[in-house]
Each structure stands twice: as C-alpha cells, then as structure tokens.
A and B are shown apart, each in its own frame.
Chain A
Amino acid sequence: MSLPELTHETRTAHWGWDEHRYFGHRVFEQLAGHESFTGLTVLSVLGRRLSSDECAIVDDAASTLTLADPRIWPLKLTRLIAAYGSTLPAAAAGLLSEEDARIGPWAMAKSAEMLLAFDAVIGSRVDEPETVRAIVQRYLGEHGFAWGFGTPFRGKDERLVAFRRCIRQRGRQELRFWRLMNAVSAAVAEQRAVEPNMGIATAAAFLDLGMTPHQVGSLTSALMQHMFLAHAVEGAKQGASLRELPAGYVEFDGHAPRSSPRAQEIGTGGA
C-alpha cells in the first residue's frame, strides 16, 4: 500500500551539521553573540528581528509588567502546583492558564484587537475628541466592556505610570497606537470612570512595533514567564505547606447530606 507523503513546511528551524538555522538566520554566525534573549524571544514570536531600540521597549514592558505578588491568581495557581515539589509543571500550569483568559497576558491581545477596531473607524481623527467620544460611546454600547481598562483594588495602574515614563524617554509617545490609546482612554474615562491599565498600554506599544494581536498576546506571555518561574522555583523549595489547607479554612456551600436512591431502596448507607 502506498502512503501519501506527509510533509509540513516550517519557517522556524533546521538542524544542520555544523550550523543550524532559526527563522532565516544562521545560529552561530548571525545570532550567537549578536542577539539578546529578548531579541530571540521576539524573533520566535514575530518571525523577524527587531532593532535594539525596539527590543528596549519590549524589555521596558517586561520590567514594568513585573507585578508578581504570589496572591495574584495565576501566580497563586503556579504556587499551588509547585507545592508538590516540581518546578516546571508548576510553571507550565501557569502558562496553560493564560491563552484566552481574562486575567493575564491575553488581555493584551484582546486590547490590541480592540485598538485595531478603533483604528479602523477613528483613523486620522484621533485629535478630534468629539469624534472619538462618539465612536467609543457606540463601542461601549455594543460591547458593554472595554479591554485594557480598570485596575483592581486601586485607582490607577502604577505599572502604566512607569511605562509611560519609558515610552517618553524612548520618544515613542507620538506613535500612532500610543496616541490612539490616549484618545480612547480619555473617552472611556469620561464615560465609564475607569482608567486604562498596562494591558492596553502594552498592546499599543507593541502594535506600534508592527505586531498582530496574537503576537501581542504570545509575546507578552513570554515576557511574563519570569514571574511564573520565580514562584515555581520558590514554591517547589518550600514544599508541602500549601498542599492541603488546615481544617477550618474551607467552608462547604453545596448540597446537604442525602442518601442515594439505591441506598434508600435497600436501606444501607446514606445521610
């Protein structure tokens, strides 16, 4: 029986004899000694390299996104799995909880989609507050919710305050999506009294680097892995303390004790 030939194309990599390829680059000759860890991560997600100035923005985002308190839900999840003593399964569990989730880096991908939608209708009218206000009002009416807004437990996102400084220092505050974010934020704040958060800021900065929303989500996820690793490493060392909560810390709010139909039939077991 002749089988169909199964082949897949890949742009990612090839294993050679004395040199390897990675997204069109010779690994030892072109990447080793020339590309940073951030640059390699960018290359992996975008399939192209960014300049060192552009990579610096990615580094700024990674640094300012570092809000890693173990009480924050996705990190708590990592910490709980790490309680069984292994590092990478705990980090993987954190990673697994990210795609398409409302909390975590996928909020940046959703924010990027939203900014692109605004860009399509606002276009060059970003300096016309009345126009932006009307478009944002219509969007909020249709969607009821805007990605990248709101900061739990505090009035403003301190990460965004820091990231704005980085953007200014690097002279990127007049780029298209950064300006759009500011215009939309002003209209959302006016109508819903919520402030923008680091999600929409990261999305805007990365859209200004030419990324797609999916690339924004994937890259942000990669940029946040250090926090998951930190908790996986520390949690695995701490061991058993989180494996089971002491009695009294869990309340039951479910069905009252009852007997099964079969137990009732034969008069055994039950409530």
Chain B
Amino acid sequence: MSAGTLVGPLEGGASFPAHLTARVITPGERPRVHGYDVEADLARHYQASDLLFLLLLGELPKAPVSRAFSVALMFLAPVSVAHASTHAAVVGRLCDAPSRSMFGVAAIGAAEHASSLLDEHRELLVWLLSPRGPLPERFRARDEADVAAVQRLTAALEPTGLSIPALAEGPSRDAALLMVLFAVGFTVRERLEAAIMLARLPSGIAEALAERPTNFGNYPINLPRFTYTEAQ
C-alpha cells in the first residue's frame, strides 16, 4: 500500500499548531535568555552561575543572592566516587563507553541523586515554607563534622550579608544547603532538583574521566559482595 493512502487520527480531525514554541531562549543568531542578550549583555556583566540562576528562575540575582547561590553550588558540587551517582559514571568509563554515553550516565545519576535528597527532605521543604516551631529533629546536624561544615557554610555566606535565620536552628549540612537555595528563591521542588543536579553533574564526569577505560584489574569487583540466593 502506498504511504500516501494511509490515514489516521493525526491526518484529519484534530488540529495542531504548525510551530514549536520557545519560552526561555530566543532561537536564532542572537540568543536571549528570558529577554537578556547573552552575548552583548550577560557575557559582559554576569557569571555563569548567574546565567544558571536566570535560566532556572527567570530573573537575574541581585549581588547578595548571586554570591549565596554561588556558595551553595560550590558546597553542593563535590560528589565522590563513594556515591552511586559518581560510581556509576566511573563504571561506564571502565566499560569504555563513549564519552557522550558516560556523560548521560552521570546525568541520570546526578538527577536521581538530587531527587533522592529531596525525597529525604520533603518534610524540611514544608517546614521552610512555613517555619512554625523548631526545625524537625531529623534535619539537625548529626555530628561534629556536620556542625563544622555548616559553620564553614555560614562563614562563606557572611560576606553576602544575606540573612538566613533557619541556619541558626542547627541543621545538617544537606538541610543547610537546601535552606540557602530556598532563601535565594528556589522554593519549587523541580527547580531545586535542577540546581542540585547541575551543581553535581561535573563531579561524576570528572571522576569518570580520571579513570582509565578497561582498567578492570584495579576495580574492586566484589565491592559489595553479592550473595546469590534461590528464594522460593
């Protein structure tokens, strides 16, 4: 049968637009992001982290917010190979996957990692929207290392002059970072997820690129051990 004779629900009846809609980035030779000229304006006056902020939230950050967001991205970025997200990217590299595929693995891992962090802090996000009462116990610093990390975060934020009262509640490192992102405008879960994922993605890629493809002899194949059971 000639293809020209085939008809179905998409050939008649329902009507569809003839154009695709761009909502953030203007297509063409002179790109704008949310209205700002990237090449003549943003590239001259702003940092890459400001562009990320603009892309995700639609407005440019004022100076204190810009600095605080940059600090948060910095604290979020390092994800060692102990974490499954980075570990998976390294295994992709060991398998000699093409770099594009390994980057894809790292991106999936970073997205799942960010989503899992937010799942664990669902109750915190509710508390941040309406912080009545003390910070729930499970989001408090668990040990001295946690306390010290939050002190370093507070010190890094000090020059911004940004006031984040929730940080005085003794949060864990993860909770404190979410408090900072929340304070600079990331109040919607999927935007938070995007910021965390993008901050962490380079770690997975970098750790993977540092590994030698097919270096299986140096990879701990029995970490962890899997015990096979034939359950009923």
Interface residues of A (CB under 8 A from B): 5-14, 21, 24, 69, 71, 86, 88-89, 92, 96, 152-154, 245, 247, 249-263, 266, 268-271
Interface string of B188-232 (1 = CB under 8 A from A): 000000000000000000000000000000000001111111110
Contact A256 B229 (CB under 8 A): no
Contact B44 A249 (CB under 8 A): no
Interface residues of B (CB under 8 A from A): 8-10, 13-14, 18-24, 26-28, 32, 34-37, 40-42, 44-46, 58, 60, 62, 98, 100-101, 104, 108, 223-231
* Shortest beta-carbon distance from A89 to chain B in Å: 6
Q: Out of A9, A153, A263, name the residue touching B226 (CB < 8 Å).
A: A9
Contact A260 B230 (CB under 8 A): no
The CA-CA distance from A269 to B20 in the complex, in Å, is 29
Sample of 10 A–B contacts (CB below 8 Å): A86-B101, A96-B108, A247-B27, A251-B19, A251-B20, A254-B22, A254-B23, A260-B41, A263-B45, A269-B37
Contact A254 B224 (CB under 8 A): no
* B13 CB contacts on chain A under 8 angstroms: 153
Interface SS, B side: loop
List the A residue with the shortest CB-CB distance to B35. Answer: A255
Contact B27 A254 (CB under 8 A): no
* B224 CB contacts on chain A under 8 angstroms: 6-8
Contact B223 A6 (CB under 8 A): yes
* B108 CB contacts on chain A under 8 angstroms: 96
Contact B26 A271 (CB under 8 A): no
Contact B41 A263 (CB under 8 A): yes
Contact A254 B10 (CB under 8 A): no
Contact B20 A11 (CB under 8 A): no
Interface SS, A side: loop
A89-B100 contact, Cβ under 8 Å, with A71-B10, A254-B22, A254-B23: yes
Contact A24 B225 (CB under 8 A): no
* A252 CB contacts on chain B under 8 angstroms: 21-23, 26-27
* B104 CB contacts on chain A under 8 angstroms: 89, 92
4 A-B pairs closest in CB distance: A269-B41, A255-B35, A6-B224, A153-B9
Contact B226 A269 (CB under 8 A): no
Contact A251 B22 (CB under 8 A): yes
* A255 CB contacts on chain B under 8 angstroms: 32, 34-35, 58
Contact A89 B101 (CB under 8 A): yes
The CA-CA distance from A252 to B44 in the complex, in Å, is 24
* A14 CB contacts on chain B under 8 angstroms: 228
* B226 CB contacts on chain A under 8 angstroms: 7-10
* Shortest beta-carbon distance from B92 to chain A in Å: 12
A11-B34 contact, Cβ under 8 Å, with A69-B10, A254-B22, A270-B40: no
A260-B34 contact, Cβ under 8 Å, with A11-B229, A250-B22, A251-B20: no
Contact B37 A271 (CB under 8 A): yes
The CA-CA distance from A152 to B62 in the complex, in Å, is 46
* B14 CB contacts on chain A under 8 angstroms: 153
Q: Out of A71, A86, A152, A253, name the residue touching B21 (CB < 8 Å).
A: A253
Q: Which of B21, B36, B62 has the most CB of A within 10 A?
A: B36
Given A252-B26, A254-B35, A269-B42, 16 other A-B residues pairs in contact with their CB atoms under 8 A = A7-B227, A8-B225, A13-B228, A86-B98, A89-B100, A153-B13, A247-B28, A249-B18, A250-B27, A251-B20, A251-B21, A252-B22, A254-B24, A260-B60, A263-B45, A268-B40
A69-B8 contact, Cβ under 8 Å, with A6-B223, A9-B227, A268-B44: yes
